[in-house]
Structure 1
Amino acid sequence: MNHIVIIGAGQAAAQAVVSLRQGGYNDAITLIGDEQELPYQRPPLSKKYLSGEMEAERLFFRGQEYYDNENVTLKLGCRVTAISTDEKTVTLDDQSELAFSKLIICTGSRPRQLPLPGADLANIFDVRTIADIDAMKPAFTPGKKLIIIGGGYIGLETAAVACKMGLETIVIEAADRVLARVTDPVMSDFYQRVHAEEGVTILTGTGVAGLHGTGGAVSGVELSDERILEADCVVVGIGIVPNIEL
């Protein structure tokens, strides 16, 4: 019996399901994801979902009914720990096994972590999953001091929303301009100016040496020039690492 197993439940995996069915594949499909939610779009997380303008259900590519109607088995909240190409099986973290005729790997990436002292303090957040934003929202209250480490798209999008929510927002970027990896200096200047006009402070050419804490929660960010900026919460947006462990 044909059985396609898809490891991962992001956009690539969700589109693979749709493309397989549209292409005439009618046999079994199992999609495995480590989050509890149905496959969903990530770009709105740092924008409308963070601001509260969008509910989680609106992030989903397809509703549960679609997967039921298309005979797609969803195994959510679990991970694949091993693949046997000889036996054509995958092993899940509950030690169960699934046989496959074809395997599609869509494991994506995860946020790069700060390799610095204090990076494990409370109120330091990534922007990658619904759970990340749900954990972040209670800390995003007017008047709080937010420091965002990284001046890429994630950092700037989060900064724009946070500033509108009333947080005192500072973006720290090690390069000499924001968005240095993805755009030219003219566009970098434009985005920096727009953010500054909205009240975001951007420090370019500035590194981070460590994070300070009080009572187990972050209370400040130490810069490479030894200055310490007060912080009630920190968002880290310094890139991603591919999930290639399998």
Structure 2
Amino acid sequence: MTALGFLYPGHSAEDDYPRMEQLLGSDIRLQVVHTDIGEDAHRVDALLEMGSAARLAAGVEELRLTGAEAVVWACTSGSFVFGWEGANEQVRQLARTAGLPASSTSFAFAHAVRELGVARVAVAATYPDDVAGHFVSFLKSAGVEVVAARGSGIVTAAEVGTWGRDEVFALARAGDHPDAQAVLLPDTALHTAAHIHDLEADLGKPVLTANQVTVWEGLRLASRRVNAPALGALFRREPVVQAPAE
């Protein structure tokens, strides 16, 4: 069995994780530990505090007890607001504290885009425009070309967590762009696990969502590859077959 740990801020769309665990259909366990969200606000100062080392460290001991082999900070905005270098340091500190391989949802997006082999993406964000702009800057630091970015002006994760299928589809369609090879929905407070396959069929291209890439990143850290078509193109890719060493 592979056990993966996720530090998830507050309570919004954490039920995506048991749903994805079922869809993975193998010996994968997704262990969610909640961190204190502090002020629920998609505002840079509040997000910096939400992603502080002290708040993440507070959840590490509980996570260790789950037997997790790797840990992912399951928050996009609470990582990319630190910038590329700051987000790297956040992950390094988390790895030292947990004694485990660690990453965050922001890096999960960067790695997932690379995994799909796409160069141009569109961002369909729930956040206010200024916060969405920080995500665009983070992706550019990762070498990803963002051809379009749309914010929705939603201030709280609590409100995002109430969105259903209709709102998710409207967000993705509004944020798509003809030149984009994939569409990114960067908010772990947004319920998307049940919709990824249909979103991709609707848009005709890969869709990467926050909770989806977070789980994929945990699997990547644990060197696991799982075929789960219901979770979209990211989970349908075959592992690279390398020629045997001569």
Same structural fold, with TM-score higher than 0.5 when normalized by the shorter chain: no
Structure possessing the higher radius of gyration over alpha carbons: 1
- Please give the range of the TM-score, normalised by the shorter of the 2 chains: 0.3 to 0.5
Higher percent of residues as strand? 1
Higher percent of residues as helix? 2
TM-score, with structure 1 as normaliser:
0.33
TM-score, with structure 2 as normaliser:
0.33
